[in-house]
Structure 1
Amino acid sequence: MMNRTTLRTMLQLSLLLLPLAAGVASARSSWLPEGWQPEDRELRLYERPSASEREVRVTRRFLSVVELMDGQVDLARTTLEGAGERIRLKQQDGNLLLVDVVGDLEPGERLPLSVAYRDGQRMELTLVRGELRTDLSVRVYQRPPPTKEEQEAALAASLAGLTLDYEEHEHLLKGRMTCSPEESEAPRVGGSGIQESRFRCEPVAHDCGFKLPAWLHRRESAGRLTINGVEGGGGKVGMMGNSISYWMPYQTVVVLSVFNMDPERRWRPGEYALRREATGETVRLHTVKMEVPEEGVDLGAVGLMSFVIDTPSSGTERFALEVLEKDGGPRRIRVEGMTFEKPGKETPAR
């Protein structure tokens, strides 16, 4: 399937190749009016454009593209009145409405085009005869373009979700086992007098279904993780933990996984902070996403936490991440000596 760039490139190439195919200037004038001008423009609905700005100028033999910059086309509910067989509507890549003009419009003719969005909204346009101008591409914005802060927040949220999904499916689910009784073995009596059976356990077949993009690098450990001062945790503190980092040029994700070993207490995350080790200065966290049940991580269960920060300019500066237990619980997670150096060429995406 063609993407937007490919489609736009093909449109531009068609404008260059058609005159060449004609061979001579006299042949060119037979299909293209003298002074004809193709246009590529934007329509900002949030600025309440006038009726004339909502007109899409079309010309026979040319494809006009209406591109929804913040929505998806619902072609089944999109309507065009009065065109007959002269104009065909098609959909491309979800958000592109292709207006294929195979017949002429009369001078002054106006064809109402009602574009339906998948979220239920509608946009009213009007197709008119292009004369000497044709709108080859109209990019439509329902909302103002996102600010830099909004773009950073959206990227952070996407990274947080992607990394948590990857950790959960690729690593946690791979370790699960399925166990069933061995039918060939007769039940036996244990020391307690209760009948027992032997079980055969095998790994659960699992396919993650996706790979990390090449620009996102996964590393085994972001730093030294301790729980109440014990590296990696353990039975004495009632919890085990691990840290993973995902590096990209703009933002970095730190994922913590915890395994609750305390039969009497669930674990719930409380306050958290990322600081520069040298100064103690707090570092801004773009997104914090938790895959932890509201009631907390039960005995034998795993919880995941994702923290997204701006990738530090220095790859050697050291940071510390601390997560406390909610309601004054005694278990404190700390990842010390974290650095975010740029990965080398030998660090492949998994």
Structure 2
Amino acid sequence: MVAEALPVETPSLEQRLELVARAHGFVAFGVADAGAAPQTAERLNQWLADGRHGDMIWMESRAAQRGSPAGLWPEVRSVIALGMSYAPVHDPLALADHPTRGRISVYAQGGDYHDVVKRALKGVARWLVAEAPGAEVKVFVDTAPVMEKPLSAAAGLGWQGKHSNLVSHEHGSWLFLGAIYTTLDLTPSIPGRDSCGSCTACQDACPTQAFPAPYQLDARRCISYLTIEHDGPIPPDLRRGIGNRVYGCDDCLAVCPWNKFADAAHAHRAFLPRAELVAPSLSDLLALDDAGFRQVFAGSPIKRIGRGRMVRNAAIAAGNSGDVRFRPVLKRLADDNTPMVADAARWALAELTL
């Protein structure tokens, strides 16, 4: 008697889509209904009303589009949320005891994630359009008015932790997020569940007390905001807390216990750290002119802040170093043509004479 062959189950569109996404370098995949994060707009509007966005005016000017996927694209039915790992090779906190070296956030030590993630998103989107004729898609990574974190949580990639960033059981805090909006009705994934519990490690680690409460961030006190987004003098009362951080801050991410499951082997090769960005000398950063800045940071997300903000940050770090050998270069920078650089250099000189 010949056994009857069991029917072979055909993989669903969502299953095949996940395989394609992983082939393009994404390690996290999920689907959410376009209306799956209904509290996003309310929370965003309250955050803006409290002024916690600082001078990030673009957050305010496109709030209606940012509050929900349909606000940006009325025809959207599903959101495909994707994550690409940049789990660090080195301890992100290792330079805390090396005050003459600049600390650069892990995400910016390799290639520009905007380019890498968008290229991969487009590859996935092209496959989807070919597989589902008539489907329309739009791809987004960071620069569009899209709230990737609550959408990714709704799609099951993880949850928004007490530091407000996405946390994954498998990849910790080290995911670049991208989204594909589509007119297709896809089957949603199971949403992520908050697993922070009673832990307050991220809150306790913040050097400038940027968290007024768990799950709330005041960007005006956040070192990442101050060193990257803020174009002007950094408030004097926050400068000592910056320490030797010259671009971003990883402290609240790095102390998250869920990072013990993150594996640097899963990180995309494009984000492997460039040797010159792992522990740059403050002396080298303070000596940068415009041409030198562009040369050093070509192909890096750091290039968008310009020479002025980088040298401002390096001057503050020099002032926090306690090393009087920085005084000659700071004296020169005290007359810099960029006011925020001159201001930071004068502050640093005063710190080094205390």
Normalised-by-shorter TM-score class: under 0.3
Higher radius of gyration, 1 or 2 = 1
Q: By percentage of residues, which structure has more helix?
A: 2
TM-score (norm 2): 0.22
Q: By percentage of residues, which structure has more strand?
A: 1
TM-score (norm 1): 0.23
Structure with higher RCO (Cα < 8 A, 6+ apart): 2
